[in-house]
Amino acid sequence: MTGSALSGIMPHLPALQVVVPLLSAPICFLLRRGLVSWAFATVISWAAFATALLLLQAVLTDGTIRYEIGGWAAPWGIEYVIDATNAIVLVIVAGIGAVVMPYARRSVAAEVPANQHSLYYTAYLLCLAGLLGVSITGDAFNVFVFLEITSLSSYILISAGAGMDRRALTAAYNYLVLGTVGATFFVIGVGLLYMVTGTLNIIDLSARVPALQDNRTIHVAFAFIVVGMGLKLALFPLHTWLPNAYTYAPSTSTAFLAATATKVSVYVLMRFLFVVFAPTYGFMALTLNYVLLPLALIAMVAATIAAIYQYNLKRLLAFSSVAQLGYMVLGIAYGSVQGLTATLLHLFNHALMKGALFLAVGCIMLRVGDVTMLGVRGLGRQMPWTMAAFVVGGLSLIGVPLTVGFISKWYLVTAALSDGRWPIAAVILASSLLAVIYVWKVVEAAYFKEPPAGRVVREAPLSMLVPTWILVLANVGFGINAEFTVDVAQTAAMGLLGIVP
């Protein structure tokens, strides 16, 4: 019975991946009670994670899946297209959601006013649905719609921190303004593409656009899409919304958004750059080399230096995120199979590290209520498990061997060296060394300074420690045995560049 039910559902997995979280959002709202909403959202997150894993498995065995929504054929209807690239993005998004939700109950209860809990989980489910939708869809305009669902719900997830600190409101407002400008830029680009090609389907676009490489309208569309997605993914110098948003949002929102939202934007940028535009020469190809590459390098160094001077741990990690996004854009700027493999690997790996780190910081927030350098003093002994998680996450961020960070850096450096660009490899190593400083600052405060006199702090509850440690162990696990992730990333990179293995 279950077997036949499952085989009946299997062909519709692509639709269910998005529809289930999307429809459960209003149901979650109607549940009203915070705890019930939380339980419901957790179940839905795990269902979405299971769906994503099944889709990844199906893609890896049978190749690209194309699913027509509502049975309308592709150029007229919207289709969902899942290949190795977005299957892995789906797994990242749904996986982080599934890990963060069990953690959310205690953390949200402490940081968000009780009457907003069920609304908070509703916004979370909408955000999850939006992120999954952006990743899965094969229609350019549909990307915009899901992008805006994601953005609107993430503004809410960020402003929910207003109960703790009013600056969450201005952070959410600034993100709203810049996010809307970014998304509107993107939709202008899509409109211009439609003007020239008469299609919105990404596969059709990829067949028609490369032939029009010298068309001025295509150039303008390209510029709008790159800048729009640059805003969304917080590419230096368009990252100004990010530090405040991550600092003042509730810990759960920060962990979820830091590990997923910017990653999905990186994915969209990759999809448009290499599948739709696929530039081989001229203005668009030069943009990679002379715009994205320098910006990525500046982000890696400047944001890391900015992180060193931060006093608030969340803000420190936010600046480090800007630097890490620089690594991802660097891989994109190479435009080679190795570069894209490194980007995709780092997409996955960075979600694991930043997820683990922000969850650990959330534990500190719950028990100490202060995530500044002052607050973490002496926590090495008072919250040993939380701080150990932070240390392992930090080591991964630096790129120490046996962690996922090392794998990403290794592939980025190899990609740089294979083109003979050793100065870039040197910058990567330099920014990794700078990362040692900010991780060390936290370690020093936690392990070598005395806690403030009279402060009694207990270890974080298990419901929060376990999710944190799941991500920490994933950092180590995928760091020791990277074969699977590297394989998937390589397949995905070749798929993006249209190279048949």
Residue ranges that bind other proteins, judged by CB under 8 A: 141, 144-145, 148, 152, 155-156, 159, 162, 165-167, 169-170, 172-173, 176-177, 180-181, 184, 187-188, 191, 194-195, 311-312, 369-370, 372, 374
Amino acid found at 43: V
Closest CB 158 distance from other proteins, rounded Å: 10
CB 29, min distance to other proteins, A: 15
309 or 484: whose CB is closer to other proteins? 309
Q: Kindly state the helix (H) or strand (E) to which residue 220 belongs, with its residue range.
A: helix 216-232
Q: How far is the CB of 75 from other proteins (least distance, A)?
A: 11
Which 3 state secondary structure label does DSSP give 98?
helix
Number of residues in the chain = 501
User: 96, 125, 110, 113: which is closest to 38 by C-alpha?
Assistant: 125
Looking at the Cβ atoms of 64 and 372, the one nearer to other proteins is 372
CB of 198 to other proteins, least distance (A): 9
> Which residue's entry shows tokens 């009279």?
454
Beta-bridge partners for 81 = 66
Residue placing its CB nearer to other proteins in the complex, 159 or 386: 159
**65 three-class SS:** strand
Which CB atom, from 155 or from 358, has the smaller least distance to other proteins? 155
Closest to other proteins by CB, 253 vs 431, is 253
Task: Give whichever of 68 and 370 is closer to other proteins, judged by the CB atom.
Answer: 370
Cα separations (Å) of 448 from 97, 376, 390, 440, 443? 34, 11, 15, 11, 8
Q: Are 55 and 177 in contact (CB under 8 A)?
A: no
Taking the CA atoms of 108, 266, 414 and 500 in sequence, report the sign of the dihedral they define.
Answer: positive
Nearer to other proteins, 160 or 435 (CB): 160
Min dist CB 155 to other proteins, Å, is 6
Distance CA 491, CA 111 (A): 42
Q: Print burial letters for 319-346: b (CB count within 10 Å at least 16), e (below 16).
A: bbbbbbbbbbbbbbbbbebbbbbbbbbb
For residues 439 and 395, the answer to whether their CB atoms sit within 8 Å is yes
Phi-psi map region of 336: left, alpha, beta (phi>0 left; psi -120 to 50 alpha): beta
Min. distance of Cβ 477 from other proteins in angstroms?
37
Rank residues 311 and 422 by Cβ distance to other proteins and give the closer one. Answer: 311
Tokens describing residue 235: 């590419």
Cβ of residue 138: shortest distance to other proteins, in angstroms? Answer: 16
Q: Burial, 68: exposed, middle or buried (Cβ in 10 Å; 0-12, 13-18, 19+)?
A: middle
**CB of 375 vs other proteins, minimal distance in Å:** 9
| Minimum CB distance to other proteins smaller for 154 or for 287 | 154
Give me the helices (H) in 312-377, please: 313-334, 337-367
Report, in Å, the least distance between residue 56 CB and other proteins. 30
Query: Residues 160, 116: contact at Cβ < 8 Å?
Result: yes
